Structure 1
Amino acid sequence: MSDVSIKVILLVLLFVSAGYIFYLRYKNFSLRSTLDDTLHKKAEIGNFLSIFSKNLKTVEEIEDSMNMTARYVADLVGSSSLCIFTMEEDDCLKAAGIAGAFPPLHKSTEYVLTKPRFILESLRREKIKLGDGIIGEVAQSRESLLIEEASADPRVAATGSVIPIETLMAVPMVKEGKLIGVVCAVNSREDGKSFSPEQFSALKFMASQVELAYNIVKVYSNLSKQQRINQELEFAKQLQSSLLPKECPEWGQFSVHAFSKSAKEVSGDFYDFVEVDKDRMLVIIGDACGKGIPACLLMFMARSFIRANIERYSTLNELMRDLNNNLYRDTSAERFITIACCLLNRRENTIEYVRAGHTELLLCMPAHNHKLRKIFTQGTALGLMPGDMVEEFETFTFSFYKDISILLYTDGITEALNKNDEEFGIERLKDNFMSSCEGRSAPQETIEKILRSVDMFVEETPQSDDQTLVVIKHRDNFV
């Protein structure tokens, strides 16, 4: 049993114990029968705890726990039916827990059916405004109500209920000046008798216990939902981790290294290495719009499409066009992804580059007058527009000389902010990359150098976007 469940049960024990103490008081047990009755009630409490804890194990059964609470209070005060109404966010009251065949207590066009179960289904859907009917009046006035002879009361007659109402009592639930709801009991279990002042006092006392039980249920419900979200995030995190390549490849003369760090539990950034055939490997970097699970799912869709279809494409332009059409068809309008790909050909010693709305490729050539070039090719982000509105994805092919180094990155690197809201920027990235190339650093060392520089720049400022780097170097171009 989880810590949350134990805490819930302890709180419920407080609720039940308080109700039990009052139960003994209002029933006015004599000293002669205290022992026998106490043992009997202890058994009832144990049974109640067992039922309550079982009902609170899942979020789906939260409503059942309130129905069980309603049945418990109905038993305690001796009413044939009882309903717990709670305030909703729209300032209306709604039935949260029902015991027995509870009648409608305000005029409604929904209550045209006569079968109790249909009336109860309508009651659960109904929203009661403050001041509307008996329940709305009690909520608005925040004053308890006891109607001993309901047949003579015009408020009861106005309900038009097909379920006979002989006697009624309603109590508002108020905590620290805030209205939580109303507890209403209808008809005594002793046929023909009105609710007594003792029963009315019992319900007024139990209203505070019902409010406590309702808060327990709400807290547990919220915790359970959060736990479920955490489980889903953990699953998505594990799934994403399993999808990232376990090793960085040595592909002929190409040495590749990559690193990705998410800003949240799961990332919209990704990289991948896909072997097309014995000579070619596709290196991919991507950045899905947004963060968290939605971005992660978009990343997963793009990655899966490329891996499943890469072998049937003869050009990177065709691959990008079909990937765009696929994402546009299957995602909402505000979702898109940017991608850059380098097709490494170890037989011809070439690289073919394509870009779909992604950041530019940085090409460093220290032996060629220490030049560092930014390579832009035309191509829009994927998933934004239908295929007939998308222009060709321009590709750029170049020979892979020994002194060439390549850097692919996502904008989480250049847009990393420090405490003064200044961005790390493209110039700092270029300087770090150029310095690493001149020092003939290995791909992994190059990435580590850039990340250290980013960390020093941002200091304690929290990471606001996913960060991914991919470095490709010639095997003869580092120590």
Structure 2
Amino acid sequence: MSDMHFKIVLIILLIIAAGYIFHLRFKNFNLRRLLDDTLHKKAEIGNFLSIFSKNLKTVEEIEDSMNMTARYVADLVGASSLCIFTLEEDGFLKAAGIAGAFPPLHKSTEYVLTKPRFILESLRREKIKVGDGIIGEIAQNRESLLLEDAAEDPRIAATGAVIPIETLMAVPMVKEGKLIGVVCAVNNREDGKPFSPEQFSSLKFMAGQVELAYNIVKVYSTLSKQQRINQELEFAKQLQHSLLPKEFPEWGQFSVHAFSKSAKEVSGDFYDFVEIDKDRLLVIIGDACGKGIPACLLMFMARSFIRANIERYTTLNELMQDLNNNLYRDTSAERFITIACCVLNRKENTIEYVRAGHTELLIFVPSHHHSLRKIFTQGTALGLMPGDMVDEFETFTFSFQKDLSILLYTDGITEALNKNDEEFGMDRLRDNFMASCETRSSPQETIEKMLRSVDMFVEETPQSDDETLVVIKHRENFV
């Protein structure tokens, strides 16, 4: 083979190799984008379910739950107004949930009234025949619609709407081939801008969650009071179980394990592990006020907010401040939650800690004569007070030395009672944790030993509060 021939073959091989590498990178990019989109949608579902489920308590609140659902979806897609139309038993479409000043899209003599309150009342009474108007057509054809410039559409002009309609998107809700209804959003919150393909995609995705919410409402409305309570418990139990981490992370030099035991069917305690980026992992433990369904739902709200928003915060103080504002706005006055967070940075070999009214952090430091340190930073419980009354949440950062062990816990451990009404207490907790650390037990072994100690102490006394432990330890022989 001549040198020229060899060079040509080599060039061809290099071109093929370069093309293959480009293909692999492009494939990897698409997979990463798909993963990010999936995680984002999972966060949206978790947040939606947590907000929706906390409203399912009484018949009156069930009737208002579709309005809450409409408000949430409108916020998510950035719409000025939104209406959820459902197909009723008589075969007509009716407004089941409304957010904002939604304009009538079906011509009617009732709409001569121009005050928004009267328009909305008329809209709730109105029945739309499948096939009539934009909403009826979408229901009949079962095809989504995006009108970037709605003013130019003759169907909009025919409605004679008193509220200007600049842009519109609507999606049919269909389950197993059966029409459930239509979700319609009108006007972008960014004035003058049409709805984007991304907003349209979000509405189509959330239409499935709206359909789920509507079916839950229908089921609840036909249940007896006791059946409804059982349904709430089962729904919350399944949701809580699905959201708890299934695996415990080995994050560089950090080894983590956790355990939670509820006092009732569902728990107000929780723990979670959230990957912030390739170097940082957020470890969370929380304890919602009370027990059972109310505490469980408060826990869902806090967890969903953190998971959906953690990437946009640069400090733990900002995260706690915004979470407090969110909970204060959306919960009743007597509801609150305590939380402690640790950011594990495997690149810098550090831990950053913040607490919001939670129990203190315990650190076992073998290099200081096997001492046990208690870290008690300043920070109030979340949801009790508005943001302007909450001081800054103090953070504490330290390097993660070899053989260091950390304990996070809820007060259900220290306040566990025996038959003499004596608490397990802080001293027993400290002694058990230190003894386990001195024998170089793994995080899982440490938790198992501590739980056995609590069980031996309380004996047959019924558990009175949720109990949760999280242990973080420096991995053995980590290089």
TM-score interval for Structure 1 and Structure 2 normalised by the shorter chain: 0.5 to 0.7
CA offsets, 1:219-273, max 9 Å, x none?
Answer: xxxx943233222201111110111100110000100000000000010000000
Provide the rounded CA distance (Å) in 2 between the counterparts of 1:367 and 1:348: 20
Alignment of 1:377-396 (within 5 A): 377-396=377-396
* In structure 2, distance between residues paired with 1:325 and 1:315: 16
Whether the 8 Å CA contact 1:258–1:447 is kept in 2: the answer is yes
What is the alpha-carbon distance in structure 2 between the residues aligned to residue 367 and residue 401 of structure 1?
9
Partner AA of 1:432 in structure 2: N
Residue 446 (structure 2) aligns with: 446
Who is 2:367 aligned against?
367
- C-alpha distance in structure 2 between counterparts of 1:477 and 1:364, whole Å: 18
**TM-score normalised by length of structure 1:** 0.53
- Work out the CA distance in 2 between the residues paired with 1:301 and 1:235: 15
Separation in structure 2 between the aligned mates of residue 317 and residue 300 of structure 1, nearest angstrom: 21
- The gaps in structure 2 that reach 5 residues or longer are 1-58, 60-222
Q: Is the 8 A contact 1:403 1:477 kept in 2?
A: no
TM-score, structure 2 as length reference: 0.53
- Inter-partner Cα distance in structure 1 for 2:477 and 2:383: 38
Q: Which residue of 1 aligns with 2:240?
A: 240
Equivalent in the alignment of 1:75: none
- Aligned partner letter, 2:412: G
Q: Deviations over 1:39-63 (max 9, x none)?
A: xxxxxxxxxxxxxxxxxxxx9xxxx
DSSP 3-state at the match of 1:432: helix
Q: How does 1:200-279 map to 2 (within 5 A)?
A: 224-279=224-279
**Corresponding position of 2:405:** 405
Q: Determine helix, strand or coil for the equivalent of 2:471.
A: strand
Q: Is the 8 A contact 1:440 1:477 kept in 2?
A: no
Q: Work out the CA distance in 2 between the residues paired with 1:225 and 1:290.
A: 22
Residue 295 of structure 2: aligned partner: 295
Q: Deviations over 1:65-103 (max 9, x none)?
A: xxxxxxxxxxxxxxxxxxxxxxxxxxxxxxxxxxxxxxx
- Report the equivalent of 1:112: none
Question: C-alpha separation between the residues in 2 aligned to 1:343 and 1:431?
Answer: 26
Contact 1:404 1:477 survives alignment (8 Å): no
In structure 1, distance between residues paired with 2:385 and 2:225: 36
Correspondence 1:339 to 2:336: no
Point out the structure with max Rg over C-alpha.
1
Distance in 1 (alpha carbons) for counterparts of 2:476 and 2:307: 30
Q: What is the alpha-carbon distance in structure 2 between the residues aligned to residue 357 and residue 296 of structure 1?
A: 18
Residue 314 of structure 1 aligns to a residue in which SS? coil
* 1:445 CA displacement: 0.4
Q: Which whole-Å CA distance do the structure 1 matches of 2:238 and 2:308 have between them?
A: 21
Stretch moving more, 229-238 or 426-435:
229-238
Deviates further, 362-371 or 342-351: 362-371
Residue 476 (structure 1) shift = 1.7
Correspondence 1:428-467 to 2 at 5 A: 428-467=428-467
Where does residue 424 of structure 1 map in the other structure? 424
Partner residue, 2:88? none
Q: What whole-Å deviation, never above 9, does each CA across 1:131-189 have from its counterpart, x for those lacking one?
A: xxxxxxxxxxxxxxxxxxxxxxxxxxxxxxxxxxxxxxxxxxxxxxxxxxxxxxxxxxx
What's the secondary structure of 1:277's corresponding residue? coil
Q: Matches of 1:453 and 1:384 in 2, distance apart?
A: 34
Letter in 1 for 2:327: L
Q: Is the 8 A contact 2:403 2:475 kept in 1?
A: no
Partners of 1:320 and 1:393 within 8 A in 2: yes
What amino acid does structure 1 have at the position aligned with 2:323?
A: L
**What is the identity, as a one-letter code, of the residue corresponding to 2:254?**
F
Partner of 1:352: 352
Name the amino acid aligned to 1:428: R
Q: Which amino acid aligns with 1:456?
A: M
